[in-house]
Amino acid sequence: MPRRPAPGGGLAILVVATVLAVLAAPHARTVRGLVAGAVAGVASAAPSNLPALRPPDRGAARAVAFAIAQQGKPYRWGAEGPGAFDCSGLTFAAWRAAGVAIPRTAAGQLAGLPQVRGRLRPGDLVIYRSRGPSRRHVAMVVGPGRMVEALGRGIPVRSTTIRGGYLGAVRPGGRQ
C-alpha cells in the first residue's frame, strides 16, 4: 500500500528552499527561478485545508539559517557566540547576522520589539517565563511548529517543538 505524505510536509520544503535561496544570494537569479518552480509545485500539491504559511523575508531567512547552523554548540550564560550561546545571545547573534539590531536580553526583546499579530513566522521570537537569573527565556521560530533555542547549562543549542504558554512573541526587522 503506498504511503501518504505527512500533512504540512510541503510547508517544511518551502521553508528549507527559502533558507537555501537566501544562502545562495550570489546566485540569486538562478536560484530564484528554481525555488519559484518548486514552490508552485508544492502549492498545487498541498491540501487546501492547511493554513497558509508565508515564507520568511530575506532578513528573517538569514536569521533562521544562522540559528539553525548553531545547533550542537554549548550553552554558556552571557555568551553571544561564536563558540557558545545563551538563549538571548543566540537570537541577538542570529538577527545581527541578518543585519538587524535587536535588544540583547530576552526581557529587552519582549519589551522592545513589535508584538506578533496573527500566526508565528520563521524568525519570530517566542519568550517564556524561566527560573533562571533573568526570569525570561527566548527561542526563534524556524518553521511550522519548530523553534531553535539555547535552553540551559548542559543542553546544547537545539531544534525542538514550540511549547505553549509563552509570555509573548515578537517580530524583529519591522516586518508585519
CATH number at residue 124: 3.90.1720.10
Per-residue pLDDT at 95: 98
pTM above 0.85, yes or no: no
Task: Clarify whether residues 104 and 130 are in a common domain.
Answer: yes
Task: Clarify whether residues 87 and 31 are in a common domain.
Answer: no
Task: Clarify whether residues 33 and 71 are in a common domain.
Answer: no
CA–CA–CA angle 147, 148, 149 (5° rounding): 120
Task: Clarify whether residues 106 and 126 are in a common domain.
Answer: yes
* Average pLDDT of span 15-36: 43
Domain stop point among 32, 54, 76: 54
Task: Clarify whether residues 82 and 167 are in a common domain.
Answer: yes
Task: Clarify whether residues 29 and 66 are in a common domain.
Answer: no
- For residue 158, the enclosing domain spans 58-174
State the maximum Cα–Cα separation within the chain, in Å, rounded to a whole number: 54
Task: Clarify whether residues 49 and 62 are in a common domain.
Answer: no
Task: Clarify whether residues 35 and 67 are in a common domain.
Answer: no
Which residues contact residue 164 at a Cβ distance below 8 angstroms, ignoring those fewer than 6 apart? none
Task: Clarify whether residues 40 and 25 are in a common domain.
Answer: yes
Task: Clarify whether residues 47 and 67 are in a common domain.
Answer: no
Q: Which of 65, 81, 94, 78 is nearest to 152 (CA)?
A: 78
Quick one: pLDDT band at residue 55, thresholds 50, 70, 90?
Answer: low
Task: Clarify whether residues 5 and 21 are in a common domain.
Answer: yes
Number of domains in the chain: 2
Quick one: pLDDT band at residue 109, thresholds 50, 70, 90?
Answer: very high
pLDDT, one tens digit per residue, over 84-96 is 999 999 999 999 9
pLDDT, one tens digit per residue, over 149-174 is 999 999 999 999 999 999 999 999 86
Task: Clarify whether residues 27 and 77 are in a common domain.
Answer: no
E strands, 19-176, in order: 125-129, 136-143, 146-149, 158-161, 168-170
